[in-house]
Amino acid sequence: MASDFTKMAEVCILILARGGSKGIPRKNMVHFVSKSLIAHCISTARMVTKADSVWVSTDDSEIAAESEAAGARVHHRSAATSTDTASSLSAVLEFLGDRPEVGTLALLQCTSPLTRPEDVSRALQMLDGSYDSVFSLVRHRPGLIWRETEDGGLEPVNFDPLNRPRRQELPSHLQESGNFYVTRAALVRSERQLQAGRRGYVEVPPETAIDIDTPSDLEVARLLARRSLIESPRSTAEVNGSEGSVERSTVEIGSIGSEEGSMEVKGSVKRSAEGSEGSAKRSATEVSELQ
């Protein structure tokens, strides 16, 4: 029989998937490469090492059935946390209130289908160290920025027009990609946020940071996924099933954004890849948009 500590230390992956969506109707059920978007996200989640369970929180019976068929457990989301204006945090808190055994939570965004399971696994590994929350960031170079002035003119923000820098000389910054948020569940319950305590990050490649919000986003994600399937073979790995049992599972998106450069961990995971000078397609994703 498991000890009380073991019961309270479950590592859980949670996917929020409402039935309603505006940009793309029934977005979480839309076809992506070879299966629905929700089923694809579950496949990715089941490839994450160290996870004990994969859950989908939904208010939709079709999504619930699809999720169970894909190997996830279903949390039935209340009407109050399923509205267009309800925050993702409210749905997470509702889930954690019903699942007191969860000690570590990894929140995956269903609409980021190019998320790599190894990046989520790395975030969980960092939580075993001295970090309390770890989330995905993408490096972005803003370019030459101007802003409007009150008199209708323009002024530079981050450069001197008399000494114009080359683009690669501009400082880069890190912005949230929204792919995943990994945190200690106790902090979410007490602080009511997903990024409390000592924060770390995993820097993800720009091509994996796409967030599907419009039909054009969906087409771009499909093209990137198909390109990856052509360029790299399908890979098979041992993963934890929804009840913690080990089984075999095939990854459809094998090595999207695989590094050709170096990786090191210094309070974060830094990844450099040849030819990855491009900025991220998507803008910073707020936690409240995870749906």
Mind telling me the catalytic residues? 164
Where do runs of H (alpha helix) occur along 99-147?
A: 117-127
Q: Which of 149, 126, 151 is nearest to 137 (CA)?
A: 126
Quote the tokens at residue 49. 């090492």
- What is the signed CA dihedral for 276, 135, 98, 241, rounded to 10 degrees? 50
The answer to whether the beta carbons of residues 20 and 77 sit under 8 Å apart is no
The answer to whether the beta carbons of residues 138 and 174 sit under 8 Å apart is yes
C-alpha–C-alpha distance, residues 86 and 55, integer Å: 19
C-alpha–C-alpha distance, residues 14 and 173, integer Å: 28
The answer to whether the beta carbons of residues 75 and 57 sit under 8 Å apart is yes
Q: With left for phi above 0 and alpha for psi between -120 and 50, is residue 272 left, alpha or beta?
A: beta
C-alpha–C-alpha distance, residues 112 and 208, integer Å: 8
C-alpha–C-alpha distance, residues 175 and 205, integer Å: 12
What is the chain's length? 291
